[in-house]
A and B are shown apart, each in its own frame.
Chain A
Amino acid sequence: MTTNLLAAYAEVAGEDVVNHLCQLSAPLKGMQVVHVNSTRIGGGVAEILAKLVPLKRELGIDARWEVITGEADFYKCTKSFHNALQGSPVNLPDASLRLFEETNARNAEKLRPILEEADVVFIHDPQPVPLLKLCPRRKGKWVWRCHIDVSHPYRPVWKYLRGFVTAYDASVFSLAAFSQSLPHPQYLIAPSIDPLSEKNIDLPDEEIRAVCARFDLDPSRPMLLQVSRFDRFKDPLGVIQSYRLAKTFVPVLQLVLAGGGATDDPEGEAVLEEVQAAAGEDPDIHILSLPADAHRTINALQRAADIVVQKSLKEGFGLTVTEGMWKGKPVIGGDTGGIRLQVVDHHTGFLVNTPEGVALRTRYLLHHRDKLEEMGRKARRFVRENFLLTRQLRDNLALMLALTRAHNDQIKLELA
């Protein structure tokens, strides 16, 4: 039976897509599924779970979302893991690792009854990865969902984390290049955006104009936008450099760097200060530190922008790329990680390797408005076909079916 929520998704993604979800979920009805991560607010993982879990429930699956908690030093340690998995050498003293394991042990005390009873447990990213070993009487299948670009991890840290990961029944990566030598199936599932969320729904023009006015942006002048946490891997300083290079040719150009913090990211404040210092007194650089729930504001900024930039140096996926594309904007993105999956060079935007690359492509697009609009149209179509929540949910359900039923290379379903 199609509920109102599913009917709403059918309108955006198509009847077939929702029909597939119903077929996939029929054998999974009543199953207990738990997702665990380390923050309820801020960042792409929390955004995906906020939508994926209710939709699973809508399909009759008993899905829930649990969040582990810890002290500031725990998040410092897990942020170091994050940086190390993306290739930065970090020094993690034994005391930090002990704190990491103790914090997980404390969380396991609270979560153990739920996790051991669950049919499928999804552990997101490295923060809660020790939980599996702390649940010895688990009866279900456990999946490690890695959202990070681990193509070239700092080996000592990966060696430590791998010790926890190998015991899982499967892992999920966004790209094949992130997969590792692991003794279980490694599914490839790209993240997605929710077309019905505040962040992505259509907005009235007057609301977009009001947001521009609130931040002193001139809607009649071209605008570059990067939406990201203030994180060095997102290269906000490189974006400022790109803007300055492009501005010599397009003097009316404006730059917006909009971001918020995530509760599990302790470095955001320091990076924000560096970005503010680099921007100096330039009135056309707008640095917006937005609250984590400023979804409509970000939506309006993305719609107001001419070009969306995501000049990351490392990127697990880059949901802000998908968001920009969904709003019909070409994206100039760093030639790295999951951005390569979304930005089809010369079709949905441009892949670049330097601040000069961003400047060059910005000039090109602003001088070829027809091309800019054509790329924007292609970008939206590409997201509709590949990166909507319904596709991620479909892959997720297929993975659950494959793990819990003895399916081999074919999963055969019937009409509900």
Chain B
Amino acid sequence: MRAVHTGPAPLAVKDCTLIAIATGRRAQNLRELRDHVLDVHPGSIYYHFWGGLLRSRFDQPEYNNDFAAWARNGLHDKRLAERLGVINPAAYCNLEMLRQELIEVIEERLDETEFIPWSKADQQFQFIRAQIILFDTPWRIRAPEELAEITPKLSVGSIFYHFIDARCCTPGGLDDFRAWLSGFPECRDLCAKLAAVDPYFTTLTELRQQLTSIFCTYFGRG
């Protein structure tokens, strides 16, 4: 069970990585994709929406989740890719709600197409899930203003764990920074600024810069 940081106890900074596990499930056409999405391990939904953030990237991907990318590159269905690509996983309280939205979009497309879109045999969608490995770090944040100093030094794994993974695993979908800052009533405005950050359509490096900028501005650091 994930620890929820609610201040004013120090925020223990963690780092993380994902270890991928093949589910052995694969889809070659849209109907097969739908059938697997119906009951695949929830960790697989998580991995295909969020896991890409921890993979190396050279530029902004056209689509931010693996389902949309496969719709475009495997099925060559641009319309479906656009609809899947716009799904914002951060907007759903839990993975089951996200799964339902995914099924809804796929079924809508199945309803309106005369032929089921399919991919070549070597471009099937491979369902993967992940185990998260959680590392400790020497960092302990004791006061809110330390966030301005420590955040630029955090690894992308730490940003992922505290700002993204936390939303999927804590009640209310709060990131760890906001959960911890909620123990400091004077930081209510800061929490509002953090709530406005879109963690999905960006890279973790950019996200770290964005968070650093918010903390530095708020605490009046250069």
Contact = CB atoms under 8 A, between A and B. Distances in A.
Nearest to B1: A410
A399 B22 CA distance: 13
Contact of A402 (B19, B58, B126): B19
Interface string B119-135: 00110101111111111
B136 A413 contact: yes
Contact of A173 (B22, B130, B131): B22
A19 interface: yes
Interface residues of B, number: 31
Interface centre among B15, B22, B124, by most chain A C-beta atoms within 10 angstroms, is B22
A276 to B, nearest CB: 32
Given A176-B22, A185-B21, A186-B21, A344 B58 contact: yes
B172 interface: no
Contacts of A344: 58
Interface string B14-34: 010101111110100000000
Contacts of A412: 134
Nearest to A16: B155
Interface string A381-416: 010011000000011001100100001111111110
Contact of A176 (B15, B126, B137): B126
Interface in B127-167: 127-138, 155
B58 A413 contact: no
Interface string A160-183: 000000000000010011011110
B43 interface: yes
A338 to B, nearest CB: 13
B21 A413 contact: no
For chain A, the bracket of interface size reads 35 or more
B56 interface: yes
A411 B122 contact: no
B20 A187 contact: yes
A41 interface: no
B70 to A, nearest CB: 12
Contacts of B59: 347
Contacts of B129: 409
Contacts of A185: 21
B17 A187 contact: no
Interface in B51-99: 56, 58-59
Contacts of B135: 19-20, 23, 413
Interface in A119-140: none
A410 B24 contact: no
A385 B176 CA distance: 26
A196 interface: no
A234 interface: no
Contacts of A395: 19
Residue among B20, B23, B26, B137 with the highest chain A CB neighbour number at 10 A: B20
Given A177-B122, A177-B126, A179-B24, 6 more contacts: A16-B155, A181-B24, A347-B59, A402-B131, A410-B132, A415-B137
20 contacts: A20-B17, A20-B135, A23-B136, A176-B126, A176-B127, A177-B126, A179-B22, A179-B24, A179-B126, A186-B21, A186-B23, A187-B20, A347-B59, A386-B56, A398-B19, A402-B131, A409-B131, A411-B131, A413-B134, A415-B136
